[in-house]
A and B are shown apart, each in its own frame.
Chain A
Amino acid sequence: MPKFTLSVNGETRTVDVRDAQEPLLYVLRNALGLTGAKFGCGLGQCGACTVIVDGEPVRSCLVPVATMAGRQVTTIEGLGTPEKPHPLQAAFVAEQAAQCGYCVTGMVMTGAALLARRPAITREEAQQALAGNLCRCGAHERILRAMLRASRKVAA
């Protein structure tokens, strides 16, 4: 079985996969037990599986694990914890910016990548950045507020 060595949340992880085309998402959720990234569509349309690879938000349901060798993968688990949240995670909690919460880790990863690049954002910029992240419960308003709250904190 092909073996791949990945850097996930700053740790080197080696995984055996039968199929080098296995998407990163399945490796994260099963072999590595990192279930924060969710399967939503497997088509790159909804953003629930978003992780950060070398600073960019990436749809982990689409990228084969084989292409991840030597790259820096950050998942929601590497961004922060309930006890020590990333400023954006803290902002999501402060704004109570989730209902079912299934899509929310993908939102946070997309948002965190944006804020890392561009700390001071407007509501419209947040709307555009999250245009490819779908939410069915209708938490959009709160998520945008959380983005702006974190932006104020990160940019300050």
Chain B
Amino acid sequence: MTRRVSLPRREFLQAGGALVVGFTLPASACAQRQSGAERPASGRAGANEVDGFVAVNADGSVTIYSGKVDLGQGLRIAIPQMAAEELGIGVERIVLVEGDTALTPDQGATAGSSGIMRGGVQIRQAAATAREAMIGMVAARASKPAAEFDTVDGEVRPKAGGAGIRFGDLVGTRRFDINVDPKAKLRDPASYTVVGKPLARPDLPGKVAGRHVYVHDFRIDGMLHGRVVRPPAVGAKLVAFDEASIAAIPGARVVRINDFLGVVAASEWDAVSAAKLLKSRWSESTPLIGTSAVRGWLRAGPFAADETLVQKGDAAAALAGVTKISAEFYWPMQSHGSMGPSCAVADVRDGKATVWSASQATHRFRETIARALALPKDAVRVIYLDGSGCYGMNGHDDAAADAALLSKAVGRPVRVQWSREDEHGWDPKGPPQLLALEGALGDNGKINAWRTQMWIPKATASLPNMPLLALDAAGIVQTPGITTGLISQNGDPPYAVPHQEVIVHWLPDAPLRPSNFRAPGKVANCFAVESFTDMLAVAARRDPVEFRLQGLSDPRGSEVIRRAAALLGWGPRPASAPKASGRGFAYMHYKHNESYVAMAMEVDVNRVTGVIRVRRVACAHDCGLVINPDALAAQIEGNILQTLSRTLFEEVAFDRSRVTSVDWASYPILTFPDAPEILIDIVSRPKEPPLGAGEASATPVPAALANAIFDAVGIRLTTAPFTRARVRAALG
């Protein structure tokens, strides 16, 4: 991979790549989390208090409490980098505690690319406030102006030189007892020594050596293994079960709460075996519409509401009586497809509950679990442990609810790990999306009119938590509704179009339980908008890159477009007839106010087999201030590869009763032989705020690919996934 970063990579590459990190995931933090010990001295403070985020330890190290968690995206290094920079202490002396409701402030879910942009920024401000406070203490003692001091290397030092005072000696383990000051001055980016460096992630040595403790690996004394027996059909009722059918497994027992059916056993294999052996009878249930009906279902309604999201000029008039271009785009339901199935451990006893979970939102989930168990919120603690990747709400909260119900029933800690069939069959799915676009060029060859219509499920306002399978089955009341993420954004073009409108036809439900899946909605919306832009460029007989640049006034947008084109070596399109290989381009300004991404792609299409081979992907990315360029590059690579997978291969299959794509053979994803070369150019803008990067670069992938396929073989793919059969059919 080629990577251009405007900062030196020397630190990263030196020492022959040994890349020894100065610290490992602190054992103390792990022990604290796993033993359930309380936070020393300070106790949990709120998100408006410095003590909520920052605690100075007697040895001069600093503990940072983060409500945002590391899902694999690298917050475990990036947040300490931000805190260390402001505090003036080596990053190796920061201990990070994440996502523990007893210890960390509620910073909201680790979702929507908000980890750095909101979570890190909040912690950075707390760290700057703490720095000013410590400087203030020393200045007051010395009767000198605060401006004469700075923090360096874990000490408050006179700028003029002389001995400093260590943080530990100054603060000890005392609280700061001050609110986070939104006006506390941040350091000048020009002086950064930690932020912007490609520091190694502290958890990787342990992960690569098999020592890192995932929630799947977590064990506590007296723990039983549980498995839930899911019904053979969505909505089926449990008619009967035969406990004698598992009599051969010593100690295994059945837990039934209404339609919630589970088993527990001392050994994991016994639990797996018991779940398989247990004979149960369920009612017939055919509440689903089946995969092939989804597209029609979206179009047919009934609709909860029609809503105009964007209206500029008079699109209806501008589209009337002119040569129109139109196209319809479809994005299927997809599974999060985490490599490890969902897992959790719960200990519900004596009027208290502790849940170890890979939840994206431990604080929110604590309230859900408390309601479900009829416990006061304060009696419930949810502790984050790494799961197997997280690209939105997968089954992690479901598994935790499973474990909590089983633990409550048997009075022992219970660990539940889903099967692959559970995960593919029952994880909440990315919702389906249908878009119809119409547009027309003006006499000047620019886009004059544009209309996007969307047919998509409407998320339930203020839903406290996605309804969980276990609670539903057990008859525990929860607020009904669906969650999707913000799926209607970026349906309008990012280019100057005088007459445009975006209309949403909201459906009140979804064909399968939906949830937010990485860059919710915006993968499909960008697929439609940027494929359609390409169609308009073709109609205008313009080069697609030039056509896009012409419509943009935002210089940051233009910059990434020019850079991505240069990175791939984009030249004017050859005028020859379609050939076997082609190049495509797409652009995204995420949510119209976050990161800028441009992507160019080169593909081969085999006309006989229908196989698409992506050769090279070039991405230029501007998310403002870059905290850790290597972790950022990893996010961009991941976005590209995962979304190529979604675009090429993925669609959940289901019949009238249940999901039928329940393994990796029936729900294939991208494999190593499919992996293209990836070129990344990161635009670093130290004076701009840091923006999120966990999603934006996913969005241009499908359109860049579709546009490259069009360039290669002249077919316009508008329905994902781009399976071989679909390519062959389009080629005729």
Which residues of A does B touch, CB under 8 Å? 17-19, 22-23, 26, 29-30, 34-43, 45-46, 48, 75-77, 79-82, 85, 89-105, 108, 126-128, 130-145, 149
Binds A, one of B99-107, B604-612, B663-671, B713-721: B663-671
Contact A100 B672 (CB under 8 A): no
Contact B637 A139 (CB under 8 A): yes
CB contacts (< 8 Å) of A133 on chain B: these are 672
A-B pairs with CB below 8 Å: how many? 203
A29 touches B268 (CB 8 A): yes
- Which single residue of chain A is at the shortest CB-CB distance from B417? A39
Q: Is the CB of A142 within 8 A of B634?
A: yes
**CB-contacts of B198-242 with A (<8 A):** 200-201, 203-214, 216-217
Task: Identify B641's interface contact among A29, A35, A138, CB under 8 A.
Answer: A138
- Of the candidates A45, A128, A141, the one whose C-beta lies within 8 Å of that of B678 is A141
A23 near B269: Cβ-Cβ < 8 Å = yes
Q: A141-B675, A149-B17 are in contact. Are A81 and B211 (CB under 8 A)?
A: yes
**17 A–B contacts from the bound complex (CB under 8 Å):** A17-B269, A18-B270, A26-B272, A42-B420, A46-B339, A77-B209, A82-B211, A85-B209, A98-B207, A100-B72, A108-B208, A132-B671, A136-B391, A140-B637, A140-B641, A142-B1, A149-B17
Question: Which of the 9-residue segments B381-389, B454-462, B584-592 touches chain A?
Answer: B381-389
Contact B634 A48 (CB under 8 A): no
* Residue numbers in A under 8 Å from B673 (CB-CB): 127-128, 131
**In this assembly, does B580 line the interface, its C-beta being within 8 Å of a C-beta of chain A?**
no
When distances are taken between beta carbons in the complex, the residues of chain A under 8 Å from B217 are: 29, 35
A41 to chain B, nearest CB (A): 4
Q: Let me know if B72 and A131 touch, CB within 8 A.
A: no
Is there contact, CB below 8 Å, between A22 and B269? yes
Nearest B-chain residue to A135, judged by Cβ: B339
Expressed in whole angstroms, the minimum distance between the Cβ of B704 and any Cβ of chain A is 16
On whether the beta carbons of A30 and B267 are closer than 8 Å, the reply is yes
Q: Which residues of A contact B206 (CB under 8 A)?
A: 82
* Residue in A closest to B251 when the chains form the complex, CB atoms: A18
B18 interfacial by beta-carbon distance below 8 Å: yes
Residue in A79, A90, A128, A138 whose beta carbon sits within 8 Å of that of B638 in the complex: A138
Chain B 234-275 per-residue mask, 1 if CB under 8 angstroms from chain A, else 0: 000000000000000110000000000000000111101100
- Residues on the B chain within 8 Å of A94, using CB: 17-19
Q: In the assembled complex, which residues on chain A have CB atoms less than 8 Å from the CB atom of B71?
A: 100
Judged by DSSP, the binding face of B is loop
Chain B residues positioned under 8 Å from A101 (CB to CB): 72, 203-204, 207-208, 212, 386
Closest beta carbon of chain A to B299's beta carbon, Å: 31
Q: A26-B272, A126-B672, A136-B388 are in contact. List 18 more A-B contacts (CB 8 A).
A: A18-B267, A18-B269, A18-B270, A19-B270, A38-B340, A39-B340, A39-B417, A41-B663, A45-B664, A46-B664, A96-B200, A96-B204, A99-B634, A100-B338, A105-B207, A137-B389, A140-B672, A149-B17
Most A Cβ at <10 Å: residue of B208, B270, B641: B208
Q: Is B308 part of the binding interface, using a Cβ–Cβ cutoff of 8 Å?
A: no
Interface centre among A82, A138, A145 (most CB of B within 10 A): A138
CB distance from B212 to the nearest CB of A (A): 7
A149 to B671 CA separation, bound complex (whole angstroms): 20
Residues of B within 8 A of A80 (CB): 209
Q: A89-B208, A93-B208 known; A100 and B388 CB under 8 Å?
A: yes
Q: Is the CB of A102 within 8 A of B389?
A: yes
In the complex, what distance in Å separates the CA atom of A131 from the CA atom of B671? 6
- The 5 tightest CB contacts between A and B, nearest first, are A36-B210, A138-B641, A100-B72, A101-B207, A94-B17
**What size tier do the contact residues of chain B reach?**
35 or more
Cα A91 to Cα B638 with chains together (Å): 19
List residues of chain B with CB within 8 A of the CB of A43.
420, 663-664
Q: In the bound complex, do residue B637 and residue A141 qualify as a contact, i.e. CB atoms below 8 Å apart?
A: yes
Task: List A contacts of B465 (CB < 8 A).
Answer: none
If A42-B419, A134-B671, A136-B389 touch, whether A90 touches B72 (CB-CB below 8 Å) is no
Residues of B within 8 A of A91 (CB): 17
B18 touching A144, Cβ below 8 Å: no
Kindly list chain A residues whose C-beta atoms are within 8 Å of the C-beta of B642: 136-138
In the bound assembly, the distance between CA atoms of A131 and B674 in angstroms comes to: 9
Return chain A residues, CB-CB under 8 Å to B670.
140
Asked if residues B420 and A40 are in contact (CB atoms below 8 Å), the reply is yes
Residue among A29, A97, A130, A134 with max Cβ neighbours from chain B (10 Å): A134
Selected from B18, B204, B340, B638, the residue in CB contact (under 8 A) with A92 is: B204
Convert B655-695 into 0s and 1s, putting 1 for each residue whose CB lies closer than 8 angstroms to a CB of A.
00000000111000111110101100000000000000000
For A29, list chain B residues within 8 Å (CB). 217, 268
B544: CB under 8 A from chain A? no
C-alpha spacing A127/B273, complex, angstroms = 36
User: Measured between alpha carbons, how far is A90 from B18 in the docked complex, in Å?
Assistant: 7
Chain B residues near A17 (CB, 8 Å)? 269
Inter-chain contacts of B90 with A (CB < 8 A): none
- Give chain A residues whose Cβ lies under 8 Å from the Cβ of B430: none
A35 in contact with B210 (CB, 8 Å): yes
> What's the nearest-Cβ distance from chain B to residue A38, in Å?
6
Residues of A within 8 A of B1 (CB): 141-142, 145
Write out the residue numbers on chain B whose beta carbons fall within 8 Å of the beta carbon of A95.
Answer: 17
Contacts of A22 in B (CB 8 A): 269
The CA of A36 and the CA of B340, in the complex, are separated in Å by 13
B2, chain A: closest CB distance, angstroms: 11
Query: What string of 1s and 0s marks CB contacts (under 8 Å) between B327-341 and chain A?
Result: 000000000011111
Of A37, A131, A145, which is within 8 A of B672 by CB? A131
| Chain B positions within 8 Å of A103 at CB level | 339, 388
| Contact status of A36 and B211, CB under 8 A, knowing A96-B200, A127-B672, A141-B637 | yes
Query: Which of B19, B203, B204, B339 touches A136 (beta carbons < 8 Å)?
Result: B339
Known A93-B200, A104-B208: A18·B249 in contact at CB below 8 Å:
yes
Q: How far is the CA of A75 from the CA of B204 in the complex (A)?
A: 18
Query: A75 contacts which of B210, B213, B268, B641 (Cβ < 8 Å)?
Result: B210
Residue in A90, A128, A136 whose beta carbon sits within 8 Å of that of B669 in the complex: A136
Measured CA separation A41–B672 after assembly (Å): 18
